[in-house]
Amino acid sequence: MTNVYSPTRLALVALVLVVFLLPPVWLLLSALKPQAEIFQWPPTLWPANPTLENFVNTISRAKFLLFFKNSAIVSVLSAFLSVTISVMAGYALAKFRFKGDTIFFLLIMSSLMVPLQIIMIPVFLVLRDLGLLETLAGVIIAPAATPTGVFLMRQYIVNIPDSLLEAARLDKTPEWRILWRIVVPLSLPAIGTLLAFNLVWRWNDYLWPFLIITDQDQWTVQLAIANSIGRFGIDWPKLLSMSVLSVLPVLVVFTALQRLMMGGIMAGATKE
């Protein structure tokens, strides 16, 4: 029997843990250093005189709260829109038989092979014609429907027993109520996973906001971080502090949705 607590295995786990934790820890501790100490040689991990001045300056002088609000609006609305579309499309493709349903599903999946750069200009032109340039709505709507989300929800919903749905239909339950009261609760693990990834993707998205937004009042956090790098120099304290603050919502999202996913697993245990 293999000893899971063998010294070799524990040493390997510790090494992997250090490799993964060192960059974020270095980022956090560097953000607590004055600018002179950031460039000190030899470099030090722990700041000699920790200070929150970098964070105070970032929040008070760099419109960070405005950028944070814009990113939060884009991430939350786009993620919920994407999950809603994926759940409805996945339910239709998994539980309804219609002419050409397999071809339709394959067409959606084939879009995974299309590089983003190919559709970038057509989508930009559509947003321009709709008057959605220079607006957060353009950033929210453009990436809302994803083939990855449709595939994930379709593959999960197809495993829900048809007997549960047929029993509800015999009671003349509307399809929207079947979707909301039966399919969604049983699909919470997949929905939680998809929601978490969409929130992180949209929060970290730089390309679409960069393409369609030039007004500084509409910037997201990622645009603000990128623009903190000047032509003649880099404001390292500002860049490091903004990077640390931009990571915090991601940690909160995964911590919160981890409980949601566990609750969904218990709800999904009632499946036959």
41-51 per-position pLDDT tens digit: 787 778 877 88
Q: For residue 232, what pLDDT is reported?
A: 64
88-137 per-position pLDDT tens digit: 999 998 888 888 778 888 888 888 888 877 888 888 899 899 888 888 89
Tell me the torsion sign for CA atoms 159, 258, 253, 30.
negative
Task: Please state the rounded mean pLDDT for residues 229-257.
Answer: 80
Backbone angles phi, psi at 234, to 5 degrees: -125, 130
Q: For residue 269, what pLDDT is reported?
A: 43
pLDDT above 70 as % of the chain: 91
126-174 per-position pLDDT tens digit: 989 988 888 889 899 888 888 888 988 988 898 888 888 888 888 888 8
Helical ranges in the chain per DSSP H: 7-31, 35-38, 53-61, 64-95, 101-110, 116-129, 136-141, 147-157, 162-170, 175-178, 184-186, 188-204, 207-212, 221-227, 236-268
CB-based burial of residue 247 (10 Å sphere; 0-12 exposed, 13-18 middle, 19+ buried)? middle
Widest distance between CA atoms in the chain: 75
Q: For residue 4, what pLDDT is reported?
A: 62
**Backbone angle region of 122, left / alpha / beta, with phi > 0 → left and psi within -120 to 50 → alpha:** alpha
218-237 per-position pLDDT tens digit: 899 998 888 877 666 777 78
Choice among 46-55, 65-74, 173-182, 201-210 with the minimum mean pLDDT: 46-55
- Return the higher-pLDDT residue of 104 and 267: 104
Amino acid identity, position 240: L
